[in-house]
Chains A and B, each alone.
Chain A
Amino acid sequence: MRPHPQDIHDALNRWLAAERADRFEDADAALREMFEALPLLAPAAGFADRVFDQVLSRAGLQPVKRDVFASLGLRLVLAASLIALSLGAIWLPPVLKALGGLVSLSNVVGLGVRAVAGASRGLALVLRLGEWLFSLGRFLSDLLMAPQAMAALAACILVSALAFRFLRDQIFGERSLTYVDPM
């Protein structure tokens, strides 16, 4: 548990007072208490990895690659999977033969023709939608090219800019963007 700052200050004050009064044992205990209240400093994250990389490179070693097949459980699962696959391979030819009897050439051709017709209808729909959007865009551009519309647009942009500036001043007006440490 992190000590309360007051505890550390108490220990500090006790230490300094004991030191002034030449009470060395008390000073020792208070200083130890103060330091014990402080956690150990830590290096930047990944320190152990960096050390390890250096050790390996300087010692000319290669990192030991973990053997993924070392686990007995994994080996058993793998063996079971291979057996299942082998059994499946035995049954595969008769199943394929049975399926072949269900599918004829005319069925396949009919399916292909229906797919092409469906795709063509979808494409036509997309083209009609595009044409309609193009007309709408042309209508709006004609409308905005009018002097009155241009003036209104410019006024809107101006008002927006002023509002944005006002808002920014409100947010940052009473704050400094740079923190100055008084120390």
Chain B
Amino acid sequence: MKSDAELVASTLRGSQDAFRELVVRFERPVYSLVQRMVQNPATAEDLAQEVFLKAYRRLDTYDPQWKFSSWLFKIAHNTTIDHLRRGVPETVPLESEDEDHGDLSAVLADAASESPHAAAERRDLGRSLERALAHLRPEYRVAVVMFYAQGASYQEICEVTGLPLGTVKTNLHRARKELAQVMTSLGWGPGGAVASETAKAPAS
């Protein structure tokens, strides 16, 4: 399998297949980051497309010394932050059958082997996590998603966000605290309302 840097070099030499391979390789991480930032599947898809378009146009500025994923996430981060700063009002989709596409609760509930009760629990947890993430400031949100969901290092988050290491660590600490507060207020955790309901429910 070719490395990211090799695919970039091939793309710059004119290989369309190489760029397609890069898109396929990074579509899920980029979309995940953007979707968890904007909390809207349609907007997330538009922004993710924009990210790849920008990446294609600026591919000649990519330095192979750096990780390609960090470079791409930096574009994704900046594009998403620009969108959030523009303050474009989000049209939150109504909960319908369409919610099974692209959002966290749908992913959690997507388990054919699960009982309906277990699937409902996962769906509830997914919704709560989405709400809690949406409650965070954008710079906290990106840190949480990159560090916990995508397994990025502090250094990578610094590269992507352009913030110093100390600020990133502080943001992560505060974000985690806020996230916990929101989850607790939503009834999650030992002794919470949701946990009690779960305990009362029959074992499946």
The interface of chain A, by Cβ under 8 A from chain B, is: 2, 5, 8-9, 12-13, 15-17, 19-20, 24, 27-28, 31-32, 34-36, 38-44, 47-48, 50-52, 54-56, 58-59, 61, 63-64, 181, 183
What is the distance, in angstroms, from A27's C-beta to the closest C-beta of chain B?
6
Q: For B151, list chain A residues within 8 Å (CB).
A: 32, 36
Main secondary structure of the interface of A (DSSP, over half): helix
Could you pull out 21 A-B pairs where Cβ atoms are within 8 angstroms?
Answer: A2-B113, A9-B198, A13-B190, A16-B184, A19-B176, A24-B173, A28-B176, A32-B147, A32-B148, A35-B149, A40-B31, A40-B149, A41-B102, A41-B104, A42-B102, A44-B45, A47-B31, A47-B48, A52-B23, A55-B53, A63-B16
Interface residues of chain B, those whose CB is within 8 Å of chain A, are: 16-17, 19-20, 23-24, 27-29, 31-32, 35-36, 41, 44-45, 48-49, 52-53, 56-57, 95, 101-104, 107-108, 111, 113-114, 118, 121-122, 124-127, 147-151, 173, 176-177, 179-180, 183-184, 188-190, 195, 198
Give 4 new A-B contacts, CB below 8 A, not counting A8-B125, A38-B104, A51-B53.
Answer: A9-B195, A51-B49, A51-B52, A52-B23
Taking chain B's interface residues, is the majority helix, strand, or loop, or is none over half, making it mixed?
helix
If A27-B176, A41-B104 touch, whether A51 touches B23 (CB-CB below 8 Å) is: yes
Residues of A within 8 A of B147 (CB): 32
Q: Is the CB of B24 within 8 A of A48?
A: yes
Would you call B48 and A43 a contact (CB within 8 A)? yes
Which single residue of chain A is at the shortest CB-CB distance from B21?
A: A48
